[in-house]
Amino acid sequence: AHPTLTPPAFTSRVVPVIVITDVAQAVPLAQALLDGGVDVMEITLRHAAGLPAIEAVARAVPQMHVGAGTVTRADEVRRVKDAGASFALSPGMTDALVQAAFDAELPFMPGVMTPGEVMRARDHGFRLVKLFPAEQAGGLGMLKALGGPLGDMRFCPTGGVSVDNMGAFLRLPNVAMVGGSWLTPVALLEAGRWDEVTRLARAAMGIAADVAS
Ligand code: 3PG
């Protein structure tokens, strides 16, 4: 398959969605997540520090799979790839964005929220997509309903996922992984409370392990 269609090879089934407000947070955060067993980060472009943060983690923490999140414009695809992102995610999907990901050969997870959007993503060749915003789209019931007619598609529900419901999402056969911001609250990152991030990561990994057993 084309590299753009090939999901990155991280092991964590929880993808932390991160807003970094100061590039100095990036490397200690990556280390704190790794200490908790999480080998993937979605660093969003929602703050100007996002792009340099991707660059810092890609350079200094090779064990971490660093993805770029909130990629909504085609020109951002080349920039996050050049910064060292190993994949990109988007809350949605446009033809321009998909084309840019193919041109850059960057693994990409488009966002979808309706059956038609899932089908458009599949037409492009994608089998793994982000359901966003997952809770507002119908959450567990929506994913169960999509599993009937579109059973060959796998999802990363994001938006409204928490420590309390992540297990239920991961138990669904069409859920490959979940995403969420609860592991990395901005206030914790700004306070440098890395032990607390590690604790949240460990707790999430424990739930994921329970689901798998
Ligand atoms: C976001 O919109 O920030 C992400 O999708 C994460 O959503 P969450 O804050 O509900 O986890």
| Beta strand spans in the chain (E) | 14-18, 40-44, 65-69, 87-89, 108-109, 111-112, 128-131, 154-157, 178-180
- The domain in which residue 177 lies consists of 3-212
135 noted as active-site residue:
no
Instruction: Report the number of distinct structural domains present in the chain.
Output: 1
Rounded CA-CA distance 70/148 in Å is 29
Judge whether residue 1 has pLDDT over 90. no
Q: 158 in ligand 1 pocket by Cβ < 6 Å?
A: yes
How far away, in angstroms, is 193 Cα from ligand 1 center? 20
Q: How does residue 199 score in pLDDT terms, banded at 50, 70 and 90?
A: very high
In this predicted model, what pLDDT tens digit does every residue of 127-156 receive, in sequence order? 999 999 999 999 999 999 999 999 999 999
Q: What is the CATH number of the domain that holds 123?
A: 3.20.20.70
Task: Give the mean pLDDT of 167-189.
Answer: 98
> Torsion over CA of 178, 182, 185 and 188, rounded to 10 degrees?
-120
Helix or strand run (H / E) with residue 108:
strand 108-109
Judge whether residue 7 has pLDDT over 90. no
* Residue to substitute in 181, 183, 186, 188 for testing ligand 1 pocket (most ligand atoms within 8 angstroms of CB): 181
Question: Model's pTM, two decimal places?
Answer: 0.96
SS3 content of the chain, % helix, strand, coil (to 5): 45, 15, 35
Tokens matching residue 14: 């929880």
Rounded CA-CA distance 179/133 in Å is 10
What value, to the nearest 5°, has the Cα angle with vertex 71 and ends 91 and 32? 90
Tell me the pLDDT of the chain averaged across its residues. Answer: 97
Q: 181 in ligand 1 pocket by Cβ < 6 Å?
A: yes
Q: What is the ipTM of this complex?
A: 0.89
Which of the following is catalytic: 42, 55, 76, 135? 42
Beta bridge partners of 43: 18, 68
Rounded CA-CA distance 161/134 in Å is 8
Give the 3-state secondary structure of residue 86: coil
Q: What is the pLDDT of residue 65?
A: 98
Q: What is the pLDDT of residue 84?
A: 98
**Residue 98 vs residues 49, 163, 180, 196: alpha-carbon distances, Å:** 24, 31, 23, 37
144 noted as active-site residue:
no
